[in-house]
Structure 1
């Protein structure tokens, strides 16, 4: 599915509300993991909201490993309003970060090729040397997660630690630091990978799939209240 730049921009602020896990969010989830047949890797991540305790160890690890300056962040953990009544109060925590879209709007609108998808692993990345600071990618992202790095003077975002931990054969910093194992990272093209098996075994949803972005960030829903798509 191909989305025009106009459609991407129009959908940037779109929010969908469903009660529980909607039919559309789960439809065909057993086939989500394997959509490419060229043998290349296609990295994705699952955030299990039922396991996340909102400790933000992931954000701290990301900042340290990737030298992210103060005042900006590649990922955030957002806490919901209290759910339930005292003393049985609960919270829902969700991850806000790059979705590493198959059909990435930021890549389509970039005039210099600074925003690109690595065809070897599916990671959506930024070439700092090509970025001219036009801000098109920031405006086009429906998830509103890109920012200007005050030190590199270019667009920045999560790259699954491609230049740091992945380069060293490690898992992304956020995954390694999570005390409850709420994050799972791996190759979506490998049906035997932990992430592919998890997507088959558990209910998952992705945000704003109606825009045709085909995000590779999956979430296991908390199960209380409504899910923002």
Structure 2
């Protein structure tokens, strides 16, 4: 995309968003297909092997200098030989009320109505970085090759398109990741959330993340 086209789209987007941002966010909070894809990260199962990170990078061709997914280790909690580490998944939360969508001046950041996945239209992105600043989870970045905003999309353009699970889910050796339709009470993810204690990151913000977590069982969960 040429710089002139990017500037035109940015200017047109700002004019549009000024009067329509609230209606757009409200419209995107509704689901037309009865599908809201989400994920659970079971911190009691995660061993911090980073197989999920490697799979994500390979399948989605993510350059080494950036990452769509990180596993952050903290601890240890307890004393040897009972010491335990906590592993925290740092990636897009796919919020139902996504701040990144609300601030985007061109409509490049959007919530897919068929799946609930928050994604980016690369052709519309002008690289303004408003979405990066607005994201309270700090999970977005500018792709060093395409120069547009990028992040986890649950492998929407790769494995999901082929009817497969996200790469991170498939690669996890301990089955710490569960993916599926939150709207289907019979799905594995809905059953797990109903049966287990789970939490979502920074719930007070009202963003309604679709990434749930089974809390680390040793010591305090620090958010």
User: Which residue of the other structure, out of 166, 172, 177, is the alignment partner of 1:178?
Assistant: 172
- Which structure has more RCO (C-alpha within 8 Å, separation ≥ 6)? 1
Q: How many residues align?
A: 195
* Aligned match of 2:78: 84
TM-score (norm 2): 0.85
> Cα offset for 1:219?
0.1
Partners in 1 of 2:103 and 2:67 — Cα distance?
A: 23
Q: Which runs of 4+ in 1 moved over 3 A?
A: 35-39
> Cα offset for 1:223?
1.6
TM-score (norm 1): 0.83
User: Which residue of the other structure, out of 51, 57, 64, is the alignment partner of 1:57?
Assistant: 51
Unmatched 5+ residue regions in structure 2?
1-28
1:3-55 superposed Cα distances (whole Å, 9 cap, x missing partner): xxxxxxxxxxxxxxxxxxxxxxxxxxxxxxxx977542100000000000000
2:184 paired with 1:190: yes
Structure with a larger share of its residues in helix: 2
User: Which residue of the other structure, out of 95, 99, 106, is the alignment partner of 1:105?
Assistant: 99
> Cα offset for 1:228?
3.0
SS in 2 for 1:228: coil
> Cα offset for 1:138?
0.4
Root mean square deviation, CA, Å: 1.3
* Aligned match of 1:160: 154
2:140 paired with 1:141: no
* Aligned match of 1:45: 39
User: How do residues 201-212 of structure 1 correspond to structure 2 at under 5 angstroms?
Assistant: 201-212=195-206
User: Which residue of the other structure, out of 83, 87, 90, is the alignment partner of 1:93?
Assistant: 87
